[in-house]
């Protein structure tokens, strides 16, 4: 998605030198699609962050209340590993969302430029 966004930004910056009504309409459609993608990734990122926090709390509760040794250590270790996996995935989603957010802001700035030139 980052490559698509970067390629589209390069294209629209070149094409915006001579805006046409068709170009503006196309840009509005593409901006809406990127905004939708950004919104979906925000929801996914928030769910992964929520599950990461819940697993962290669950891990802490298991450490406190379960006796050490035997099956309790295996369960606690499994929850800890799952929390670590969720942490890594959440970090990647946050990075991806950050890129989308900044790209959409660039597109919105280009939109303002297109409408100023169109008049």
- Residue 1 inside a domain? The answer is no
Express each pLDDT in 74-84 by its tens digit.
888 899 999 99
Contacts of residue 26, Cβ cutoff 8 Å, sequence gap at least 6: none
Three-state SS at 78: helix
Residue 117 has pLDDT above 80, yes or no: no
- Residue 26 inside a domain? The answer is no
Express each pLDDT in 57-106 by its tens digit.
999 998 888 887 788 888 888 999 999 999 999 999 999 999 999 999 99
**Domain range for 106:** 48-113
Q: Give the residue carrying structure tokens 């929850």.
A: 79
Contacts of residue 98, Cβ cutoff 8 Å, sequence gap at least 6: none
- Whether the Cβ atoms of residue 118 and residue 17 lie closer than 8 Å to each other: no
Express each pLDDT in 19-68 by its tens digit.
888 888 999 999 999 999 999 999 999 999 999 999 999 999 988 888 87
d(CA 88, CA 92): 6
- Residue 14 inside a domain? The answer is no
d(CA 29, CA 99): 19
How many domains does the structure of the chain reveal?
1
**Structure tokens, 82:** 């799952």
Q: Name which of 116, 87, 115 is nearest 27 in CA terms.
A: 115
């Amino acid at each position: 998605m980052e490559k698509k966004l970067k390629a589209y930004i390069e294209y629209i910056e070149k094409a915006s030198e001579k805006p046409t009504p068709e170009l503006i309409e196309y840009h509005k459609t593409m901006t809406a699609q990127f905004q939708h993608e950004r919104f979906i990734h925000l929801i996914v990122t928030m769910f992964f962050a929520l599950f990461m926090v819940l697993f962290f709390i669950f891990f802490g509760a298991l450490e406190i209340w379960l006796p050490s040794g035997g099956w309790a250590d295996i369960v606690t270790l499994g929850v800890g590993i799952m929390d670590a996996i969720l942490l890594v995935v959440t970090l990647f989603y946050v990075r991806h969302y950050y890129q989308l957010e900044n790209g959409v802001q660039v597109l919105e700035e280009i939109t303002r430029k297109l409408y100023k030139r169109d008049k």
